[in-house]
Amino acid sequence: MRGQALILAGLILTVAVVVVMMALYTAQSSPVVAFGKPSYGYVSRSWPDLVKVAGGYLSYVASQTGFTLARGSLEVGLYGRPWDAYWLHYNETQRRASAGLASMSAAMSYLQVNASGGVWYRVRGFNGTWGPYPFAAEYSNWNLAVVTTGVSIPCGSEVVTIKLVPLNARAARFVVQSPVDVNVEYVLTYIGHTSDIVSIGAGYNDILSDMLRVENPNGRLALYVFDSSVLSQSQICGRSDGEIVALVQSNLRSVPWYAEIYRCPLCLLHLKVPPTFLQRGKVSEVLITYSTAPLQPPQFKVVITRQGSYAEYVFDVASAYTTSNPRQVFPSYYGADDIATWGRAVVRTDGVCYYSPSGGVVASGVAPSAVVPQGTAVPNSVRIYATYSAGTVRYGFNVYTAYTWNNPSVGFKVEALVLPENVGFIRPTRLDIYASNPATTHPICANMYAVQVVNPAIIWSWWKIGGGNIWNGRTWDVGYVVYSDRQWYLLSFALSPAGVAQWAVYHYNSSGRPMKLLGITTRSGVSWLQNFYIVLGSAIVDNPGSTTSAWTEATYYAYVRVRPWIYPEPSVSLAPLDKPPLVAPVRQDIVALERSEMRLRLDATLDMPGALVRRLNATTWLNASAGIVDSCRAHGNCREEVHQRTLWYLINVTHSEPRAALSSQFFVYYVLGNSPRNITAAWTLYDYGDKWARFNVTFTVPRRAPFVILISVSGSIIAKLAVSDARPRIYYLPLRNPDGSYTYYAMNYGDGVAVFYMPWGTVQSFDDSWDSRSLGYAGYFGSLYNVTNGRERWQVLVVPPGGLVRFKTPAQTDLSYYSPAWQVPYITQTSTPCQPLGVYRLLVPTNITTNYYIFAIDGVSAAVLSSLGAVYIFGPHTGGVWRSAPFYIERSPTGALLPRVWVRVDAPPGSIDYSGMLAVLCPASASSENKDATFGSGNYGTASSSASIGVKASLATFPDGFTVDLRPTSSSSIGSWGLANTTSLPSSSCSVGQSHVAIYYTGTSPPYWWHFDGFCFDRHIWEKQGGTPYFASISLSRQFVMYRMWTSSFDETGMWRRSYPNAPENLNRPYVAYQYVVAQFGFEWRIRPFAWPEPYVRD
């Protein structure tokens, strides 16, 4: 109903705008409308007034069509090849013009005016990727070709064409992409919102808007899949129509579904697809049929066309799933009533696995409740509670059920929808996966995985199972810290037989966008469980909720469910039957030139029987342009700062409407990383004429951000233009592979976005350089789009300023050949300075304020280390040539080479912000390795117990942050170390006010504790915990402190990691400096710059 209200309000507003526009244009017709002579008839006395009204309306239609054209160019224009004029049809410019003329005819029907015609248009100088692009996909046999286009099978001298048509319902489709093959039934989930675009030019999700009218989906929605492999020559040729109809009917399979959000059935919809439906690298389709009236039962017709014959056959699908039912979809679904029957137990520690308990649970239970998320199909919930006596520690309340996963070829995911009653106490909410007996085992003593709500954050746990020792994992791979609140959350834990685990938490919102990811963590090398317990409830460990009175920990659980899981998970998108599926871009870029122009001609034919006029030809023109006349860049006097620059432009704007150019407004659009920004520029009028105006425009943008100036020209006609003199500077490096294929590295060190249009299949594999440990970097350094216009397919490569991508092609190619003509002068091929031992990408997803940064290249083989003589860097600061870089190979206490190479990049502050660089390892007879040049004189040293670093270990010296590394000078050394303001390390007690940061060796399990401001209860917890540490570091920024340790292999799996917000309780500011490195053993220390997000290395 809310969606209907919004649509109705929009219609009322549209009608109101039309009325106002009509009043305006009736009083003064536009001078750009030219009328031809009518074909016959006489002119009545009302003819002039009628012409004014019609002319005004035509101007309005032209303005709206022009706005649609400009919007379409910004949304999808950059995906289209420069020579592919048909592309802009996707932004529905033609449709908008036709719809506008039809609306005009309807609005003026009382005057007996009918309008028809078409539009001609041209856009030059700007295009964008604001909107999703039509995805060029390879389809599996589970496709809907028989529904969308029909399938033609040659059978000797005739061709048999078969088409399947839904009869008593509207139709759409789900488009599903899978990274792996799945040979069992699988549960898919589609999450949508009415603001999503499913058809370019629509502006909103028109399918979901239709579904809002369905309201109750039961009896009005049905989903189907079809195996198109049966439509083959062997199955069709020689068969009668009746046999073909039976074949089609038997292979149209209805699939069960569950509409979790009741009032918007497709906003959160789950469906179960058959085995083999998910196929690696291919797209499969699900047919959606829906109706505002009950489907009684669903009907289809099969249309069969042969040489000289045409026939239609109607059939019912009596067995279709038309009722929402979670138990038909999920392998296991536990509602509130089911959870109320689970086992329950008050548990406590035993003094052996953990310290002895005290206090107790005075009341506990599982009670039915009517508290549910509004607007969902969830009928009720269950309140699980436990009341703890004052001062209670190390007690818990478990509610549990045993579970066996019966599909070991795929993993499983357990999900729970929860509402904590009060997050002000300790641990009210748990979703634990136990390998221990929950009837007797407190969670601190259990072997388990878990996602829990713990004051003040939501945490993940990998505890005492398969080497995991993470109890309160507060730092998520994506999301960092998720603070808890009294709201609905979906908690989930997933595990694959290959040993990949994923913990996740979502904000559950049934009235807006249904699921917002708050935190996710993925780990490999995790122990597989096929038999386990699902455990809910609460628990107290070392902190009581109150020392003076009893308190209650309680949570409402709406459901718990178990489903199959593969990693990565399939993607599901919604699409009309007659349009390519849409995929959101990872970047939203605009490419503009120094001049942009939009020309549009609306050719209309008017019939006005009331004036005895037929076929009156009317032409309406809309012309608008903008161009850069002068700029500070042309004179080299722009104001450059470390991370930003202030620019000035003189811009000329023209418009076919008199004085319209004077009302121009100027905005600046730029993309930093992968985040688009839109700011208002400052402008003043410089000069003007009847149809033109010149403006001084000034604005400030980040140094590495591509930018364009967006110009809104408003008058009686509205246009949007974009100009920019930012240009790319592309360098590309081809490397021949042993199999004859080529690997390319493409870098952009200009300040404009580069774009290349490649034939389908040119790029066989693509690596956009994002850090696989953090989803937030996708698109920072480039993107590749597989695009279709409905007839052809091609690939679009986009490389932003500072970007660096790697891709593979079957043969050597010249990137200039795939470039727009204006971009060709900015493209240069380069080569390596040697026969490389290795090529690495150094990626910087943030600002660098210092004049150097040190990267660690890990995993370098012993053979490469023994031959390494020099390192060369190619980056935005090297001027298009390779420059040698200082490097140092890490060594053990005995002098053995270790698989880490430190590389120093010297660059002016800000010059490598948001950039990728290439590093080439070269052989040489004499190595240029230089430790002093790599770390800098005075930035490293050795000590027996303490070293003074006070001048350097400061955020005044390193504004982004600093890292202090520590390496024992003896292989037998072990002990505690840290950063402090005294020459001895304070005790590891928990008193608030201790200002040091440290890693303490305790000898217990785990043997190391991190320390921050006396914080006690989580010090033994590491979000990542490897083997025996060899090398350690503490990094400090204004945001947080990061503690890390590595084994001597320096690989990711052997790293310990923990971070904590730099917000000490005893100060109103973060820690900013330390005087000493202190340790209980002899050590070598080093200090180097640190930035966040942390720069990283990819091969």
How does the average pLDDT of the chain come out, rounded?
A: 88
Q: HEC string of 719-752? A: EEEEECCCCCCEEEEEEECCCCCEEEEEEECCCC
- State the DSSP code for 818: G
Are residues 761 and 702 located together in one domain of the fold?
Answer: no
What pLDDT digit, counting tens, does each position of 247-275 carry? 999 999 999 999 998 878 888 999 999 99
The answer, yes or no, to whether residue 532 has pLDDT greater than 90, is yes
Q: How many CB atoms are closer than 10 A to CB 250?
A: 10
Are residues 446 and 497 located together in one domain of the fold?
Answer: yes
Number of structural domains (the chain) is 6
The answer, yes or no, to whether residue 1093 has pLDDT greater than 70, is yes
The answer, yes or no, to whether residue 36 has pLDDT greater than 60, is no
Residue type, 873: I
Are residues 917 and 824 located together in one domain of the fold?
Answer: yes
Are residues 334 and 459 located together in one domain of the fold?
Answer: yes
In a domain, 590, yes or no: no
Q: Which of 435, 434, 478 is nearest to 452 (CA)?
A: 434
Describe the crossing of helices 93-107 and 2-27 by its angle, rounded to 10 degrees: 70
Describe the crossing of helices 206-214 and 2-27 by its angle, rounded to 10 degrees: 120
When comparing pLDDT for 100 and 881, which is higher?
881
- Distance, in Å, from the CA atom of 755 to the CA atom of 784, rounded to the nearest integer, reads 10
Contact in structure between 1051 and 958 (CB atoms under 8 Å) = no
When comparing pLDDT for 571 and 561, which is higher?
561
In a domain, 1029, yes or no: yes
Contact in structure between 425 and 545 (CB atoms under 8 Å) = yes
In a domain, 606, yes or no: no
- Distance, in Å, from the CA atom of 462 to the CA atom of 448, rounded to the nearest integer, reads 6
Q: What single string gives the DSSP state of each residue in 307-376?
A: TTEEEEEEEE-TT---S--HHHHSSEEEEHHHHTTSEEEEEE--SSSSPPPBS-EEEEEEEEE----TTB
When comparing pLDDT for 755 and 61, which is higher?
755
Instruction: Spell out the alpha helix ranges (H) of 779-906.
Output: 862-867
Contact in structure between 858 and 904 (CB atoms under 8 Å) = no
Residue 1058: give its domain's CATH number: 2.60.120
782-800 b/e (C-beta count within 10 Å ≥ 16 → b): bbbbbbbbeeebbbbbbbb
- Distance, in Å, from the CA atom of 609 to the CA atom of 606, rounded to the nearest integer, reads 10
Q: Which of 36, 75, 37, 33 is nearest to 54 (CA)?
A: 33
When comparing pLDDT for 1094 and 206, which is higher?
1094
Residue 844: band (very low, low, confident or very high) from pLDDT cuts 50, 70, 90:
very high
Residue 843: band (very low, low, confident or very high) from pLDDT cuts 50, 70, 90:
very high
| % of the chain exceeding 90 in pLDDT | 61
Window from 146-155, 279-288, 767-776, 799-808 with minimum mean pLDDT: 767-776
* Omega before 845 within 30 of 0, i.e. cis: no
Phi, psi (deg, nearest 5) at residue 603: -100, 115
Residue 344: give its domain's CATH number: 2.60.120.560
Q: Three-state DSSP class for 64?
A: helix
In a domain, 609, yes or no: no
The answer, yes or no, to whether residue 948 has pLDDT greater than 60, is yes
Window from 315-329, 607-621, 814-828 with minimum mean pLDDT: 607-621
Contact in structure between 953 and 1019 (CB atoms under 8 Å) = no
In a domain, 846, yes or no: yes
The answer, yes or no, to whether residue 1097 has pLDDT greater than 60, is yes
In a domain, 848, yes or no: yes
**Could you tell me how many residues make up the chain?**
1099
- Which pair of tokens denotes residue 1011? 């320390």
Helix (H) or strand (E) holding 931: helix 931-935
- Distance, in Å, from the CA atom of 654 to the CA atom of 927, rounded to the nearest integer, reads 63
Name every residue whose Cβ is closer than 8 Å to that of residue 53 and which is 6 or more positions away in sequence. 22, 25, 26, 108, 111, 113
Contact in structure between 99 and 602 (CB atoms under 8 Å) = no
- Distance, in Å, from the CA atom of 766 to the CA atom of 635, rounded to the nearest integer, reads 39
In a domain, 737, yes or no: yes
What pLDDT digit, counting tens, does each position of 153-173 carry? 999 989 999 999 999 889 999
**Residue 478, beta-bridge partner list:** 520
Q: Which of 994, 977, 988 is nearest to 1020 (CA)?
A: 988
- Distance, in Å, from the CA atom of 528 to the CA atom of 994, rounded to the nearest integer, reads 41
The boundaries of the domain holding residue 1058 are 938-1098
Window from 33-37, 613-617, 869-873 with minimum mean pLDDT: 33-37
Place of tokens 């919004």: 6
- Distance, in Å, from the CA atom of 722 to the CA atom of 127, rounded to the nearest integer, reads 9
pLDDT of residue 46: 60
The answer, yes or no, to whether residue 377 has pLDDT greater than 70, is yes
When comparing pLDDT for 135 and 850, which is higher?
850
What pLDDT digit, counting tens, does each position of 85-136 carry? 666 666 667 777 888 888 888 888 777 788 888 888 888 888 888 888 888 8
What pLDDT digit, counting tens, does each position of 412-457 carry? 999 999 999 998 899 999 999 999 999 999 999 999 999 999 988 8
How far lies 986's CA from each of 432, 585, 976, 1080, in Å?
37, 52, 10, 11
- Distance, in Å, from the CA atom of 464 to the CA atom of 689, rounded to the nearest integer, reads 78
- Distance, in Å, from the CA atom of 111 to the CA atom of 105, rounded to the nearest integer, reads 9
Are residues 341 and 444 located together in one domain of the fold?
Answer: yes
- Distance, in Å, from the CA atom of 545 to the CA atom of 401, rounded to the nearest integer, reads 27
**How many helices and strands (H and E) does the chain possess?**
12, 68
Residue 857: band (very low, low, confident or very high) from pLDDT cuts 50, 70, 90:
very high
Are residues 230 and 154 located together in one domain of the fold?
Answer: yes
The answer, yes or no, to whether residue 50 has pLDDT greater than 60, is yes
pLDDT of residue 45: 52
Q: Is 632 exposed, middle or buried (0-12, 13-18, 19+ CB in 10 A)?
A: middle
The answer, yes or no, to whether residue 22 has pLDDT greater than 70, is no
The answer, yes or no, to whether residue 926 has pLDDT greater than 90, is no
Residue 692: give its domain's CATH number: 2.60.40
- Residue at a domain's end among 905, 928, 951: 928
Are residues 900 and 1027 located together in one domain of the fold?
Answer: no
Taking every pair of Cα atoms in the chain, the longest distance, rounded to a whole number of angstroms, is 109
* Omega before 810 within 30 of 0, i.e. cis: no
pLDDT of residue 821: 93
What average pLDDT does the segment 913-934 reach?
Answer: 94
Q: Which of 479, 483, 477 is nearest to 462 (CA)?
A: 477
- Which pair of tokens denotes residue 870? 């020099």
What average pLDDT does the segment 755-764 reach?
Answer: 95
Contact in structure between 290 and 170 (CB atoms under 8 Å) = yes
Maximum mean pLDDT: which of 388-397, 476-485, 517-526, 666-675: 388-397
Are residues 114 and 79 located together in one domain of the fold?
Answer: yes
- State the DSSP code for 58: H
What pLDDT digit, counting tens, does each position of 692-720 carry? 999 999 999 999 999 999 998 875 456 68
pLDDT of residue 5: 35
How far lies 737's CA from each of 20, 671, 812, 922, 1098, in Å?
66, 34, 10, 18, 18
Contact in structure between 462 and 475 (CB atoms under 8 Å) = no
Q: Is 130 exposed, middle or buried (0-12, 13-18, 19+ CB in 10 A)?
A: buried
- Residue at a domain's end among 324, 341, 357: 324
pTM of the model: 0.85
- Distance, in Å, from the CA atom of 256 to the CA atom of 221, rounded to the nearest integer, reads 10
Q: Which of 485, 479, 512, 506 is nearest to 494 (CA)?
A: 506
Q: Three-state DSSP class for 300?
A: strand
Residue 41: band (very low, low, confident or very high) from pLDDT cuts 50, 70, 90:
very low
Residue type, 850: T
- Residue at a domain's end among 899, 928, 957: 928
In a domain, 616, yes or no: no
- Distance, in Å, from the CA atom of 1012 to the CA atom of 906, rounded to the nearest integer, reads 33
pLDDT of residue 1079: 95
How far lies 1092's CA from each of 395, 848, 1042, 1089, 1095, in Å?
39, 9, 11, 11, 7
- Cα 621 to chain centroid distance, Å, stands at 41
What average pLDDT does the segment 770-799 reach?
Answer: 84
Q: What single string gives the DSSP state of each residue in 1021-1071?
A: --SB--SS--EEEEEE-SSEEEEEEE-TT--GGGEEEEEEES--TT-SS--
Residue 1088: band (very low, low, confident or very high) from pLDDT cuts 50, 70, 90:
very high
pLDDT of residue 17: 35
pLDDT of residue 321: 93
Are residues 898 and 1001 located together in one domain of the fold?
Answer: no
Contact in structure between 494 and 523 (CB atoms under 8 Å) = no
- Which pair of tokens denotes residue 280? 């690696």
- Distance, in Å, from the CA atom of 334 to the CA atom of 507, rounded to the nearest integer, reads 20
- Distance, in Å, from the CA atom of 461 to the CA atom of 433, rounded to the nearest integer, reads 10
- Distance, in Å, from the CA atom of 1061 to the CA atom of 1063, rounded to the nearest integer, reads 5
**Residue 597, beta-bridge partner list:** 124, 625
Place of tokens 């380069």: 830
What pLDDT digit, counting tens, does each position of 621-648 carry? 888 999 999 999 888 889 999 999 999 9
pLDDT of residue 91: 64
Are residues 1072 and 1058 located together in one domain of the fold?
Answer: yes
pLDDT of residue 88: 65
Window from 29-33, 325-329, 1075-1079 with minimum mean pLDDT: 29-33
pLDDT of residue 90: 63
What pLDDT digit, counting tens, does each position of 968-999 carry? 998 777 889 999 999 998 887 777 778 899 99
Are residues 633 and 546 located together in one domain of the fold?
Answer: no
Contact in structure between 172 and 207 (CB atoms under 8 Å) = yes
pLDDT of residue 1028: 85
Maximum mean pLDDT: which of 186-195, 210-219, 401-410, 568-577: 401-410
- 730-736 and 827-829 beta bridge pairing: parallel
Residue type, 293: A
Are residues 1033 and 1091 located together in one domain of the fold?
Answer: yes
- Which pair of tokens denotes residue 317? 């699908």
